[in-house]
Amino acid sequence: MDAALSPNGRRLLRVFFGLVVVFLYAPIVILLIFSFNNSSLPAFPLSGFTLHWYREFIGNADLRASLETSAVIAALTSVGAVFLGTLASVALARRRFRGKAIASAFLLSPLVIPYVVFGISLLLLFHQLGIPRSLLTVVIGHIVISLPYTILVLVPRLEQIDASLEEAAYDLGAGHLQTFRSVTFPLILPAIVSAFLIAFTTSFDEYAVASFVVGTRVTFPIYLYSALRFPSQLPQVIAVAVVVLTVSLVVVIAAEIWRRGAERKLEVSPS
């Protein structure tokens, strides 16, 4: 008898699952509670309820500028990573060529390279090429570290699609571009949306690489890290973190609901 199927095993799994949920979400709940604390010191017992810290961060021009900078960088990174990731995924899933395993390993290598090492390498590269640090340098770095995630999302989706659909389009006279636009793209669109969101989140939250190649306009994670050195700004940091977390959660849930609905509509019959 499987121990996990026994009554005691099921109870143990439920307890373990509950502990995992508490471990993951208790810090978020505490963060939410402290964002409404009337005191600038995040400690229990709470001194009262207030929305003052939300009004404070809305009026903080530097904080809003860092959010805008991170949003622009994340959007550009997502577009670049999804575009390059789609091209690479189609090549890996649909083409046979020498060195395919090596190319795949090379494209996925940023997953195992420490971001600090990668950030230093990019800094030296840009310095040797005479490229000044700016939003562009951050976007380049973030595209490289986001590309493996887009490939890991898109390749499995492409492998689920019957290649005979594309071959039928070729037989009917469609070219490669038209076949991709009319057949392949609609079928992988849910995966593209997922890859876009993953790349956006990765770029928006990334600190290590950006800290080496950022220019005069700091990103949101860099601003938060620097603000933690000033206790007076900590309540604002907590408030904006709650807002970003809430928006991210809503977007992810909505995108997941849409992705599942789109996949059901675009599901290809095995026959």
Domain count of the fold of the chain: 1
Residue 39 has pLDDT above 90, yes or no: no
Select the more confidently predicted residue: 248 or 102: 102
Select the more confidently predicted residue: 91 or 41: 91
Predicted pLDDT at 77: 94
Q: Is residue 71 part of a domain?
A: yes
Quote the pTM value.
0.79
Q: Is residue 24 part of a domain?
A: no
d(CA 92, CA 152): 11
Predicted pLDDT at 147: 92
Q: Is residue 235 part of a domain?
A: yes
Predicted pLDDT at 225: 82
Predicted pLDDT at 162: 75
* Cα angle 131-137-142, degrees, rounded to a multiple of 5: 155
Select the more confidently predicted residue: 270 or 53: 53
Q: Is residue 8 part of a domain?
A: no
Predicted pLDDT at 140: 92
* Domain enclosing residue 129, as ranges: 47-265
- E-strand spans in 54-194? none
Instruction: Find the range with the poorest average confidence among 134-138, 177-181, 217-221.
Output: 177-181
DSSP string, 155-204: HHHHHHS-HHHHHHHHHTT--HHHHIIIIIHHHHHHHHHHHHHHHHHHHH
DSSP 88: H
Q: Is residue 5 part of a domain?
A: no
Say which CATH number the domain at 125 has. 1.10.3720.10
Predicted pLDDT at 82: 93
